[in-house]
Structures are given as structure tokens and as C-alpha cells.
């Protein structure tokens, strides 16, 4: 089933009016997330840090913005059927949340061994959760096959409509903090950073945007450096939201032309950033969300005295991963 309309964001970029309409629509279903400064955090890194708390949204992730906007646009186009998606968790929760709000049924395909808490959350939101494959990319292929076989609307975790929806977090952030100089944004499949770059462009903001990936899931960094799409053999990182082997062709093209650079952070960096956020802000942030702060940590000597944005993309961390983080490095 192919109902969701497509657009080329290069040739037909998101307009200011679209962002304003999208933000207003999403506001009917979701609260805006706060932009906060935490003195302990800023003092630790000797710069003024502004955190965008997408971890405070109802599903614990920025992705829900895209789900609500996408389902809203589908209904506008006359859709009243069922939907399917592949996920490691946050996109699936987004789709499940939106499907419940708009009266659809959501089927979500996850890889075997996926975050159990995220699986339970998706089921609690009314989604049918199917486990298939050893990683996200295998689950994605299966979901696409199911969409054809069962006549379901497939909702990818990167799509121009979705980018508009998730980009409202950056639209809020850059409107509220006009003096922001640098922003660190994690990269999974790419919708979050693409939305940030689109908002920057439409607002004419001068913020420098730096993408952050895990060293163990660095397909986007390698692709950006090589100037061509590079897929990796695996993506085994503690930051499951960043665990992508195969970059989206569309996302890669859009991001590569606009991002300042893409940096890699180690597993130890991500763990340390998660711990720092807990101690300095009392926020529990999932490893993928903490990767933004890990990026700042890696470049902290260059950021002294500057106004730096850190996007906390989500809070969905399970107890097993939390225990691993707390005990990490202990002997």
C-alpha cells in the first residue's frame, strides 16, 4: 500500500509556514519539550550548555512528533487502514502512539533480542510486536515484505513527512535559543538530524550542526568522509538507537550537504555521558540520547566559553542496559 506522498526535500524544502502549521498540529497531541541549562553540566565543560529535553515527551523520545504528524497527513489523504514499521523501539513507539490517537492498528517489527522495555511499551500502546532478524536492517526488510503481502501502509523511520514532524523539536530549540553556536545531534537512520538541519535552514540560523555516531555503528561517519554510501558489516553498540548498518540513501544525501561534520564516540564515551547526565541533571537518558553529550565531551577543549546545544533524544533505557552502564569499567 502506498498512500503517503513523497517529496524531494532538496528541490522542495520544508517552508516556514509548514513548520509553523506542523508545530501547531502536533501541539494538539503533545506538549513542547523544555530547553534547559544545568549549572553543574555547564561548569563541568566550561561552556554554556542548553539541553533540549526530548526525553520528556510521552513516549520518551523525539520520534513521537514524526508519528503524530505522519498519521495526521495520512488521514488527510483519506487513509483509514493499518500500518507497519520496523524499529529498535523509539520509532515503533511513535507509530503505536499515533495509531492509537488516530484509530489505526500498528504492527511493529523488531530484531530478536530487542529492548524488552520498549517492546512492552509498544504493546501497551496497542501495537502488535513481531520479532524477526538479528538486527534493525533485517527487521526492516521483513517489515517491507509484510507491507506488500498484507496490504499495510509501511512507515519508514526516515521519510520527508516524518522529518517535518520530528524537525519541530529543532524549530522550538532554535527559536528559543537564537544565540546557539554549536549543536551536537545523534544520528540513527537520520530523521532527527535532518529535521534539525531543515529547521536551521528555514530559520536562517547560524548554528553549526555536528552529527554524532558510535564507533561501533559508524556507517554515516564513514559515508560522509568517503563522499559515498558505505554500509558496515555490523552495528553492535550499547546505543541501540544508533545501531544502523545501512544508511538511508535519501537521508545521507540530505545530511551530507548540510552537516558541519560527523564524529565518532566510543562506547566508554557514551557510558560516561549517560552517567554525567544522571549526576548533573538527574535525567535518565538512553545511550543514543546521551551520544550528543559524548560528542561534546570529545571536543570539550574546543567548546570552552561557547553556547552549545545538546539534544537528549530519548530516555528509553532498560534495566539491563542501565546495570551495564553503572557497572561499566569496574573490576
In a domain, 97, yes or no: yes
Helix (H) / strand (E) containing 111: none
In a domain, 3, yes or no: no
Does residue 227 share a domain with residue 303? yes
Question: Residue 85 is part of a domain; what is its CATH number?
Answer: 3.40.50.1100
Does residue 28 share a domain with residue 176? yes
Does residue 45 share a domain with residue 191? yes
Domain boundary among 127, 157, 187: 157
In a domain, 2, yes or no: no
Does residue 235 share a domain with residue 305? yes
Using CA of residue 175, residue 179, residue 180, residue 182, what is the dihedral sign?
Answer: positive
Query: What does the buried/exposed string (b/e) look like for 232-264 if buried means 16 or more CB atoms within 10 Å of the residue's CB?
Result: beebebbbbbbbbbbbbebbbbbbbeebeebbb
Does residue 278 share a domain with residue 187? yes
Residue 204 corresponds to which cell in the numbers above? 536562517
Does residue 317 share a domain with residue 243? yes
In a domain, 8, yes or no: no
In a domain, 51, yes or no: yes
Residue 283 corresponds to which cell in the numbers above? 535525567
Domain that holds residue 311: 16-62+161-327
Domain boundary among 113, 136, 157: 157
Does residue 146 share a domain with residue 24? no
Position 230 scores a pLDDT of 98
Pairing relationship of beta strands 83-86 and 153-154 according to DSSP bridges: parallel
Does residue 168 share a domain with residue 143? no
Position 329 scores a pLDDT of 65
Helix (H) / strand (E) containing 169: helix 168-176
Does residue 202 share a domain with residue 311? yes
Q: Encode the chain (331 residues) as per-residue pLDDT tens digits.
A: 466 778 999 999 999 999 999 999 999 999 999 999 999 999 999 999 999 999 999 999 999 999 999 999 999 988 888 999 999 889 999 999 999 999 999 999 999 999 888 899 999 999 999 999 999 889 999 999 999 999 999 999 999 999 999 999 999 999 999 999 999 999 999 999 999 999 999 999 999 999 999 999 999 999 999 999 999 999 999 999 999 999 999 999 999 999 999 999 999 999 999 999 999 999 999 999 999 999 999 999 999 999 999 999 999 998 889 999 988 865 3
Does residue 197 share a domain with residue 79? no
Position 104 scores a pLDDT of 94
Does residue 285 share a domain with residue 210? yes
Q: How many domains would you assign to the chain?
A: 2
Domain boundary among 112, 141, 157: 157
Residue 276 corresponds to which cell in the numbers above? 554525567
Position 331 scores a pLDDT of 37
Does residue 76 share a domain with residue 28? no
In a domain, 212, yes or no: yes
In a domain, 56, yes or no: yes
In a domain, 32, yes or no: yes
Count of H-run helices and E-run strands, the chain: 14, 10
Amino acid at each position: 500500500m502506498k498512500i503517503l506522498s513523497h517529496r524531494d526535500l532538496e528541490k522542495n524544502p520544508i517552508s516556514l509556514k509548514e513548520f509553523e502549521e506542523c508545530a501547531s498540529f502536533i501541539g494538539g497531541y503533545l506538549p513542547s519539550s523544555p530547553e534547559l541549562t544545568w549549572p553543574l553540566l555547564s561548569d563541568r565543560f566550561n561552556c554554556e550548555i542548553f539541553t533540549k529535553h526530548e526525553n520528556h515527551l510521552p513516549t520518551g523520545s523525539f520520534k513521537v512528533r514524526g508519528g503524530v504528524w505522519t498519521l495526521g497527513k495520512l488521514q488527510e489523504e483519506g487513509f483509514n487502514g493499518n500500518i507497519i514499521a520496523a524499529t529498535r523501539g523509539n520509532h515503533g513507539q511513535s507509530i503505536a502512539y499515533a495509531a492509537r490517537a488516530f484509530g489505526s492498528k500498528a504492527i511493529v517489527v523488531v530484531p530478536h533480542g530487542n529492548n524488552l522495555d520498549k517492546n512492552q511499551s509498544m504493546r501497551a500502546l496497542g501495537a502488535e510486536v513481531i520479532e524477526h532478524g538479528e538486527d534493525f536492517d533485517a527487521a526492516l526488510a521483513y517489515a517491507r515484505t509484510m507491507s506488500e503481502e498484507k496490504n499495510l501502509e509501511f512507515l519508514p523511520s526516515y521519510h520527508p513527512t516524518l522529518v517535518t514532524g520530528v524537525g519541530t523539536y529543532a524549530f522550538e530549540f532554535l527559536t528559543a535559543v537564537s544565540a546557539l553556536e554549536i549543536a551536537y545531534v545523534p544520528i540513527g537512520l537520520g530523521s532527527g538530524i535532518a529535521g534539525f538541519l531543515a529547521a536551521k535552514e528555514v530559520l536562517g540560523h547560524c548554528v553549526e550542526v555536528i552529527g554524532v555516531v558510535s564507533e561501533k555503528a559508524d556507517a554515516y561517519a564513514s559515508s560522509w568522509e568517503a563522499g559515498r554510501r558505505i554500509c558496515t558489516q555490523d552495528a553492535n553498540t550499547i546505543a541501540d538507537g544508533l545501531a544502523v548498518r545501512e544508511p538511508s540513501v535519501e537521508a545521507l544525501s540530505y545530511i551530507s550537504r548540510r552537516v558541519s561534520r560527523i564524529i565518532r564516540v566510543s562506547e566508554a564515551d557514551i557510558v560516561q555521558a549517560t552517567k554525567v547526565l544522571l549526576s548533573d541533571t538527574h535525567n535518565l537518558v538512553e545511550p543514543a540520547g546521551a551520544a550528543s553529550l559524548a560528542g561534546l565531551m570529545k571536543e570539550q577543549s574546543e567548546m570552552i566559553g561557547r553556547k552549545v546545544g545538546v539534544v537528549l533524544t530519548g530516555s528509553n533505557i532498560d534495566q539491563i542496559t542501565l546495570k551495564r552502564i553503572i557497572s561499566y569499567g569496574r573490576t
